[in-house]
Amino acid sequence: MLELKNLVFEVPADDGGTKRIIDDLTLTIPDDRFTVITGPNGGGKSTLAKLIMGIEEPTSGTILFDGEDITGMSITDRAKLGIGYGFQQPARFRGMKVKKLLDIAAGKKLPMLACNEYLSKVGLCSASYLTREVDKSLSGGEVKRIEIATILARDPKLAIYDEPEAGIDLWSFDRLTETFRDIHAARDGRSIVIISHQERIIQLADEIVLLRNGQVVETGTPEELMPKLGFAARGLDDYGCPLSTPTELHLTEIPTTC
């Protein structure tokens, strides 16, 4: 079980003060639960995920994992406790083979068959991927799917996926949705937190958490929240995104000699 208590995360603002990205957020994610965090861009979703993994350190507040205070714990130790993280924009590694990355994720040498299975679950249905390098020779969508495969291979107790659908084509997305549905069906004490804007992923959730301005605005089942999210998409009520004042353009600062 993951418990976030009065979590605050601030960054320095342009005016010399601070800006709150996560604002006194309290949230509990029980075991065996499929949670989707959604909400407008800039609402603090990715930051929240990074705070859980330990990639960012909270300004104040507490994070408990299975009752243990992990607020000051390193990324490595959290990983060893069973927290996994699928990056929105995955890193690339020159010289590292896909197979090696999957082995590192699993913490052991994986049989080829198992590797192929992880890859096919993310729609990479060719064994030739195993010997490819995770570098710029792979497309964005391929790297993204390999990233998700590493989390499948790692099989953490709590898996956080930051926008797994971003950069993935429609056909692969179908396969991915199926995979998340399967994980959901056989979750076996494991929890999944997915940050997503995708209706089809949101529909899979046991619980939807709507995050805005660094705060949990609402939680509920898809049945309860989906209609409201639908409105939000059309901007019909206060879930919509208000138009902000355009930033002032300093034309003199934009170079015109290219």
Q: Which residue type sits at 55?
A: I
Taking each helix axis as running N to C, give the angle between helix 112-121 and helix 98-106, from 0 to 180 degrees, rounded to the nearest 10. Answer: 100
Q: Taking the CA atoms of the chain, what radius of gyration do you get in angstroms?
A: 20
* Smallest gap from residue 159 Cβ to another protein (A): 11
Q: Is 125 in the site for another protein (CB under 8 A)?
A: no
Q: Is 100 in the site for another protein (CB under 8 A)?
A: yes
* Smallest gap from residue 166 Cβ to another protein (A): 16
- Hey, is 134 helix, strand or coil? coil
Q: Is 93 in the site for another protein (CB under 8 A)?
A: yes
Nearer to another protein, 83 or 232 (CB): 83
Cα gap 79→53, rounded to integer Å: 8
Q: Is 80 in the site for another protein (CB under 8 A)?
A: yes
Residue 168 near residue 145 (C-beta atoms within 8 A):
yes
Cα gap 140→163, rounded to integer Å: 14
Total binding residues toward another protein, as defined by CB under 8 A: 26
Q: Is 6 in the site for another protein (CB under 8 A)?
A: no
* Smallest gap from residue 91 Cβ to another protein (A): 4
Q: Residues, the chain, total?
A: 258
**Strand-pair category, 191-195 with 18-29:** unpaired
Cα gap 4→33, rounded to integer Å: 15
Cα gap 117→24, rounded to integer Å: 41
Taking CB under 8 A as the binding criterion, the range among 17-25, 100-108, 219-227, 247-255 that sits at the site for another protein is: 100-108
Q: Which of 58, 90, 164, 214 binds another protein (CB under 8 A)?
A: 90
How many C-beta atoms surround the C-beta of residue 201 within 10 A? 23
Q: Which of 74, 126, 139, 221 binds another protein (CB under 8 A)?
A: 74
Nearer to another protein, 75 or 241 (CB): 75
Taking CB under 8 A as the binding criterion, the range among 41-49, 82-90, 116-124, 228-236 that sits at the site for another protein is: 82-90
Nearer to another protein, 25 or 134 (CB): 134
Taking each helix axis as running N to C, give the angle between helix 112-121 and helix 170-185, from 0 to 180 degrees, rounded to the nearest 10. Answer: 110
Residues in the site for another protein, rule: CB under 8 A? 53, 55, 74-76, 79-80, 83-85, 87, 89-97, 100, 104-105, 107, 150, 154
